[in-house]
Copies of this chain bind each other. A is one copy, B any other.
């Protein structure tokens, strides 16, 4: 058992239990206590843990692990159907905005070979389009680790400098009262994208339709179309407000 391997084990246990004990470490890794001690000293010197008497603890004990839950795999079939419909709206030469919605993310797989420019604040989108024909432009600014996306005033200013032919955005809820979001950050990004885009699509599955949650940040007038799997019958109200309804058949 060499140092890199031990280091890995130590860091692993530390992140799980929050602390390690020299005696227990020595026993577990089949090394002498002094070697365990030396390992911990080395890792402490590199700032990877805090040395305590007889062991070590995490540097940031109360730090909540930024858990980016990738919701995009939930109801993948429905989301893919919506995204296929969305991708069919995109032609070569388009400049498109994509936000950090979980449905929007699944659009990536369908546009990899298109000759378009994508402007996005979503890191997963950037990663996914890394090996693609698409030219990528990243919105700059502060990174929201939980959402894996960029937000803040710098991001807004950045968006305002660009103009897109189409925007593909997600929302936390949409009703005849307009668009709803669970965070102000997300709301301002959505508003900025919509304002700088010639045509704005909202991608949402049936669970978001008629859902009113937290912040009603904009009216329906800032968007042009909804792509969803919901029955168009349920969407009559939107149609009457001039919104184009595109049904994704599953």
Contacts and interface: CB of A to CB of B under 8 A. Distances in A.
A5 to B, nearest CB: 6
A191 interface: no
Interface stretch (A132-140, A169-177, A182-190): A132-140
Interface string A1-33: 011110010000000000100000000000000
A35 B29 CA distance: 30
B131 A138 contact: no
Contacts of A53: 2
Contacts of A68: 130
B138 A2 contact: no
Contacts of A65: 127, 131
B2 A113 contact: no
Contact of A114 (B47, B84, B126, B140): B47
Contacts of A113: 47-48, 59-60
A46 B140 contact: no
A138 B112 CA distance: 23
Contacts of A2: 19, 52-55, 57
Nearest to A123: B126
A84 B150 contact: no
B137 A142 contact: yes
A210 interface: no
Contacts of A45: 84
B133 A60 contact: yes
Interface in A67-122: 68, 84, 87, 109-114
A150 B130 contact: no
Nearest to A162: B154
Nearest to A50: B4
A65 B131 CA distance: 7
A141 interface: yes
A145 B68 CA distance: 19
8 contacts: A8-B61, A45-B84, A46-B110, A47-B110, A123-B127, A126-B143, A138-B138, A140-B150
